Structure 1
Amino acid sequence: MVGALAGVVVIDLTRVVAGPYCSQILADLGATVIKVESPHDPDYTRGFPPFLGQDDGDKFSAFYGQFNRGKLGFTIDLSKEDGKRVLSDLVKKADVLVENFRPGTMDKLGVGWEVLRKVNPRLVYTAISGYGQTGPLSRRPAYDNTAQASGGLWSMNGFPDRPAVRVGTIIGDLSATLFASAGTLAALRHAERTGQGQLVDVAQTDSVMALTEAAVINYTVDGQIAERLGNEHSFVKPYDLYPCKDGYVFFGGYTDKFWRITCELFNDAEAANDPSIATMNQRFERETYETKVRPRLLKWFADYTKAELDDLAGEHVPLTPVKNIAEVVEAEQTKAREMVVSADYGDLGTLEMFGQPIKLSETPANPGRRANLVGEHTDAVLQRLLGYSEEEITELRRSGAI
């Protein structure tokens, strides 16, 4: 392996998204990630659409491929003593273990943090769960929507005259992924410096709560409970979604500098010289905004397409077309940033998926790789990393441990 994390060995016991995406980031950055699945119950996202290939007997989940690229496939049955022994041997060679079971599951299997830290004192053990390893709700099952609901974000999202709306992506999973990745790297740095591993405990609910901007301090300082604002900002104006000829744009030119430039771009000398909207604080006032600022913006944008507005103003003020995913994938900026990468799946075809946002100048990430088949590299890992003989591997397979 090459990359910033070359030489780091990660055991990935996760499934679905929050855990797999965390370990996949580490794999993109050069870590050797061993994806451990049950031989009888592998990661069920292998059955998630869309699929490469058409034949029911020969197809591969692109969803699984996007979140598990660049990993080695390994199988262990942790209900068997031989399986626990194999995991223990892996842990001796590993730097990091990532799991996202409900708290208590790994302990019931006899391979939880307290057991594995004795096997390898420098192990970084990252546990991602709905509510975390502590607290009265820690043992509850959770999904992404659980975190959006319990972390406060769901109640804040949507329009004030309508029911709350979930964020349109799995932000509970994804936020936990990002905090778990950062926590894992911080703990790994400490382990490399001191030889002491630790438990990295990341909850989806905590992660979502940490994305609520000023909602917490608005409540603790002023007693304000965040309300649904639609596309508005709580106080910054203009900072909203505005219609144009063929869709919508975001415009956020609220500073005096950007407001002045915008007036010039749209040849509106009257707006530029109006003393009632000359300052940012004046434009922040709701009545002033609704009666004098917003109508001008609607008038300015109405006769232009998204592309025309982008050409006219995009380089000068914060004006951005609201793009659908096709427009994002095909955008020149996306291509320049290599944010769509390809992986070759042979006869099944090529999978194009999102790339790696982390751009390192000296040790670039390597995201354009295919994901593993179930247990694809089990023998190779046992032989090369753990030194098992062919006879030992045959016996493990006979017993059902791998």
Structure 2
Amino acid sequence: MTEIDRLLTALRQESAAPGALNGVVVLDITRVVAGPYCSEVLADLGATVIKIEHPDDPDYTRGFPPELRTGDAREPVSGFFAQYNRNKLGLTLNLRHEEGKEALRRLAERADVLVENFRAGTMDKLGLGWDNLRTVNPKLIYTALSGYGQTGPYRRKPAYDNSAQATGGLWSMNGEKGGPPTRVGTIIGDLSASLYGVIGTLAALRHAEATGEGQLVDISQQDSVLSLTENAVVAYDVEGTVPQPLGNQHPFVRPYELFPCKDGYVFFGGYTDKFWRLSCETFGTADQADDPELATMAARFDDEVYERKVRPLIIHWFADRTKTELKELAGDSLPLSAVKDIAEVVDDPQIAARDMVVEVDYPDHGPLRMFGSPIKLSRTPPLTRALAPSTGEHTDAVLRELAGYDDAGIAAMRAEGTVR
């Protein structure tokens, strides 16, 4: 077992068969979420991921809440950082130093993938972009995630998740009907770009394995958000309609939204004729299924009919029943789900059955629960009970084993401030 293998085994805190990406080496030069989540998914699937941070300016999500800090731990642990950087080895490199650049080139010779999330052109200015590193390793997959991609007039603009939600169209569609647009309540631009980054990287790896040819994987947050706007583009193209906020309603099927109940809210989506008839029977109003104004999907979708008859009927069904009672009535027959807060989700038996909340034990800090992996593989399951590295925790081991430096060379780099 190599030194790197021993370090990964210690991080992962679980005895499991090597993951599907065992042997794939990934250099992760990313921060925050759009990038770290991409490389984390690869790490969960078994890749050796090396998180590279500036020695004096590491990933600033290390300071994001919530913070675990107990005892005499030398460095606090951010739960936010831990969730998106588990399973990774930690290396520091100042890429503005010539020796730091040389170290990255030497690592790139041995790597299969490099992931970065700087603005387009930043790595090129350092002499470490795709065109530079492909000469070092023609098989390298270079995955670049950015706000607007590597091409186009916006390529150099700074961007955040909200930038992508705004320019990708999603923000304009979200919110209460008749009200102002509302951002989606999570960092959907960062997360979707990360997942598309994983897909692109895996496709490029497949090509590289078959041909020996690496390539640039160019992922834009704006592109990623646009791809999540359902039928908005085709509706605009065919009908000239511009989607507006609809609150909890769906643009072309009803009922398919949020409804109040005795102790909260439920989602109910009984819009098909089959589900509508079954719902009427389940809630004791079977005669409503034969009402000519309610008998068809098209009739129930009519604005006036929906507000006058459909919505009031459903509110009547649910008003005096709890979420639990409604779930039991719906059983496995009706599309009805309780709207759960995170406390309820964490304790959900289905979530537990799917191993979607995992506990990681941080020495000197205690246990931390975080989301698991939604990817379920029968032979090579993801490795999710894993630590995130402290800043530069594995610098010496990585430089020795993967870049060929001896102890004297590493000491010289540390004296110059190239590594921490």
Report the TM-score, using the length of structure 1 for normalisation: 0.98
Task: Provide the residue aligned with 2:235 in structure 1.
Answer: 218
Displacement after TM superposition at 1:58 (Å): 4.3
Displacement after TM superposition at 1:57 (Å): 6.3
Structure 1 residue 187 and structure 2 residue 204: aligned? yes
Task: Provide the residue aligned with 2:104 in structure 1.
Answer: 87
Q: 2:353 aligns with which of 315, 327, 336?
A: 336
- Name the count of aligned residue pairs: 402
Give every structure 1 segment of 4 or more consecutive aligned residues whose post-TM-superposition deviation is greater than 6 Å.
none
Task: Provide the residue aligned with 1:168 in structure 2.
Answer: 185
> 1:314 touches 1:320 (CA, 8 Å); kept in 2?
no
For residues 154-177 of structure 1, the C-alpha deviation after alignment (integer angstroms, 9 at most, x for no partner) is 111001222111000001101111
Task: Provide the residue aligned with 2:23 in structure 1.
Answer: 7
Displacement after TM superposition at 1:371 (Å): 0.1
Task: Provide the residue aligned with 2:35 in structure 1.
Answer: 19
Task: Note closer, same or farther for the CA distance 1:375–1:57 as it changes in structure 2 (3 Å cut).
Answer: closer
For residues 8-62 of structure 1, the C-alpha deviation after alignment (integer angstroms, 9 at most, x for no partner) is 0000000000100000000000000000001111001001110011579642111
Q: Which runs of 5+ in 2 are unaligned?
A: 6-17
Displacement after TM superposition at 1:320 (Å): 0.5
Task: Provide the residue aligned with 1:324 in structure 2.
Answer: 341
Q: 2:285 aligns with which of 257, 265, 268?
A: 268
Could you say what secondary structure the match of 1:186 adopts? helix
**C-alpha distance in 2 between matches for 1:326 and 1:27:** 27
Q: 1:304 aligns with which of 311, 318, 321?
A: 321
Higher RCO by CA contacts (8 Å cutoff, separation 6 or greater): 2
Displacement after TM superposition at 1:269 (Å): 2.3
Letter in 2 for 1:297: I
Task: Provide the residue aligned with 2:129 in structure 1.
Answer: 112
Task: Provide the residue aligned with 1:41 in structure 2.
Answer: 57
**C-alpha distance in 1 between matches for 2:172 and 2:74:** 43
Structure 1 residue 129 and structure 2 residue 159: aligned? no
**C-alpha distance in 2 between matches for 1:46 and 1:314:** 44
For residues 117-137 of structure 1, the C-alpha deviation after alignment (integer angstroms, 9 at most, x for no partner) is 111001000000001111111
Report the TM-score, using the length of structure 2 for normalisation: 0.94
Displacement after TM superposition at 1:385 (Å): 2.3
Displacement after TM superposition at 1:260 (Å): 1.3
Displacement after TM superposition at 1:273 (Å): 2.5
Could you say what secondary structure the match of 1:347 adopts? coil
Q: Give me the identity figure in percent.
A: 63
Structure 1 residue 244 and structure 2 residue 261: aligned? yes
Displacement after TM superposition at 1:400 (Å): 2.1
Q: 2:376 aligns with which of 353, 356, 359?
A: 359
Letter in 2 for 1:379: D
**C-alpha distance in 1 between matches for 2:286 and 2:80:** 52
For residues 232-287 of structure 1, the C-alpha deviation after alignment (integer angstroms, 9 at most, x for no partner) is 11120111111100111110011111111111111112212323311222212222
Displacement after TM superposition at 1:389 (Å): 1.6
Letter in 2 for 1:21: Y
**C-alpha distance in 2 between matches for 1:24 and 1:198:** 21
> 2:249 touches 2:257 (CA, 8 Å); kept in 1?
yes
